[in-house]
Structure formats: structure tokens, C-alpha cells
Amino acid sequence: MNLKTLAAAATLALTMSAPAWSQAAFPSTAIKVVVPSAPGGLSDPVVRFLGEHLQRELGQPVIMVHRPGGGGLIGTQQVTKAVPDGHTLLLGNIGPLVFAPAMMPKPPYVVQRDLAPVGSLLTFGNAVLVNPAVQATTIAQLIAVAKQNPGTINFASAGNGQSQHLTGELFKRVAGIDIMHVPYKGTGPATTDLIGGQVQLMFGNIPAALPFIKSGQLRVIAVTSPRRSAALPGVPTVEESGLPGFAVVSWVALMAPAGTPKPVIDRLNEAVDRAWATPDGQKLLASLNFDWAKTSPAELSSFLDGEITKWTKLIKDADIKGE
């Protein structure tokens, strides 16, 4: 065999072994999961659980790093600029991945271009909450009250462009009613004023709303998810209540920088799916009132495309701007 043939054979061998080597070498150091919000949210127990499972399975520490600011834009942008080797991940959510970019004339990143879906899609619906003084116990009654008294029902949200706000805007258009948005600086003050009667309506996240529903301080008349919530099995969906096609879920999902090798993404996807399939994983999800279904990177990509198309249209049609 001459030198030219030897060189060609060596090159072919290296090319064929590169994907296997890359997969075997991952992870080579600690994995960092960026949470683009302040400590104390529902993302924290999710990342802690995944971190413990991934560390056992992959043999490297998993570190949770909070990067709040800009409605999640700061932490998300940081991950888009990270080395695409699987050692920096993002627990993204609907705010910085869908809502915020759609409200900006020049967003700092394009999700489909700058991030790669990994998996771990966790969803939870919003609850349609009213102050008990409101004379409505069903969606049909709420719509009737709003039509009889246009502009008199105020709905609260955690801030302009947040999930509660956009859910309310979608409900307003689908139901054909005139209700007024009142933005607050966070879910806490919005809920306080809803309980106090300063506002009448809110599309609140189910996990945060449950204590006030159970105490009777708030009345829940429907859930926005496509299926009934396990936490509120007796409460119908908005669609069941007479608005066909209406479905809204909040969600979190694991993302990586664009360009992360497919074998690395597939390995991470398989690991997180195994984590949630364990009894401990199922117990945690039930305690947080999250829904989970095994989701491939391609399925998560398709889901994201649908969410971006749906909400970008609403935001443009309603001329909603970021704060």
C-alpha cells in the first residue's frame, strides 16, 4: 500500500469514528443549566431533579445558574452565544422563547436559528379565575356578563406581554367581548388585587392559583389547557365550555445552543426522558401540577414552530409591545 492510499485510509477511519468519539466524550466537564429567571420559581425543582438524575447517568455535575433580567431575554441570549457542545443548556419557557421576541422590532435572537430543541417539554394550563363577587360560575355566564356590561370587567396579569395577559387577549378575541387589561409587576400583586376585588378576572397559572381556589378566595370557572387538569378534575376546559379550538398552555423546555451535535442532543433527550419516567419523576411532576409526555427533539421543534406562529400573529394583530 503506497503513502497516498495509507493517508486516504487513515482519513476515512478518522471520519467514520468521529461521531462515536464525540458522543463517548460527552460530557467531559460539568453541565450548566441556565434558568432565565430569579431563584424561587417552579423551574428550580425541575432543574434540581434533572441535575441529580443526569449527574448519576452521565457522570458529571449539573449546575443550575440563574440569569434573570429582561423578561428572560438575558439568560436566553447567553445560551445562544455559548459553545455548542452540550455543556451549556437552557430551561426555556414561553416568555423569552415566544412572547418577548414577537413584541420586539429587533429581538436579540431567533429561536429557530439560534437554539436547538432538546426535550423535557413540561406543560401546565392557566385557570380562569374570578373574584367570588362576580356573578359567573361558567364561561358562558362570564361572556354574558361581559357583553351586558362592556368595558367593566378588568383582567389582571403579571405584566404586559406575560402569559396571563396574552391568554386574556386571546380569550377576548375568541369570545368577542370587551374586557380591560390591568398589568401588575408580578403575579403576587395581581392575585392580591383579584382577591380584593380591585380587578375581576385573571388567567392565572394553575400551580400558583391552587391555594386560593382551595381556600375559597378565588373561584375557578374553567382551565385553558386542551384537557382537564389533574389538579382540578371537576373543572371543565374553556373549549368544553363553548369556545371550540381555544387552548392555551404555559410550558418549559430544555434547549441547547444551535450547532450542538445531534448525538449529544439525542443522549440528553434520552436521559431526561428516563428521568421523568421514574417514580420519583412522576411524583415531582404531580406535585408541581405539570404534564409531561415523551418528546423527541423533532417533536419539540414542531411544537415551538406552532407556538411561535400562533402567538406572533396575536401579538401583531393586537399591537402588543414589550415593556
- State percent of the chain over pLDDT 70: 92
Instruction: Give pLDDT, residue 12.
Output: 46
* Rounded CA separation 180/223 (Å): 20
In this prediction, residue 323 has a pLDDT band, given cuts at 50, 70 and 90, of low
Q: What is the CATH number of domain 29-122+251-318?
A: 3.40.190.150
Phi, psi of 34 (to 5 degrees): -85, 125
Q: Label residue 88 exposed, middle or buried (CB < 10 Å: 0-12, 13-18, 19+).
A: buried
Query: What's the predicted TM-score (pTM) here?
Result: 0.84
**What does DSSP assign to residue 83?**
-
Q: Which amino acid is at 98?
A: V
Q: Is the pLDDT of residue 5 over 90?
A: no
* CATH fold match for the domains 29-122+251-318 and 125-223: yes
Find the largest Cα–Cα distance for the chain.
91
pLDDT per residue as tens digits for the range 126-162: 999 999 999 999 999 999 999 998 989 999 998 888 8
Quote the strand ranges of 154-293, DSSP E: 154-157, 180-183, 201-205, 219-223, 249-257, 291-292
CATH topology of domain 125-223: D-Maltodextrin-Binding Protein; domain 2 (3.40.190)
pLDDT per residue as tens digits for the range 94-136: 999 999 999 998 999 999 999 999 998 999 889 999 999 999 9
Mean pLDDT confidence for 36-42: 87
Q: Who contacts 52 (Cβ-Cβ below 8 Å, separation ≥6)? A: 62
**Residues forming a β-bridge with 92:** 253
Instruction: Parse the chain into domains and list their residue ranges.
Output: 29-122+251-318, 125-223
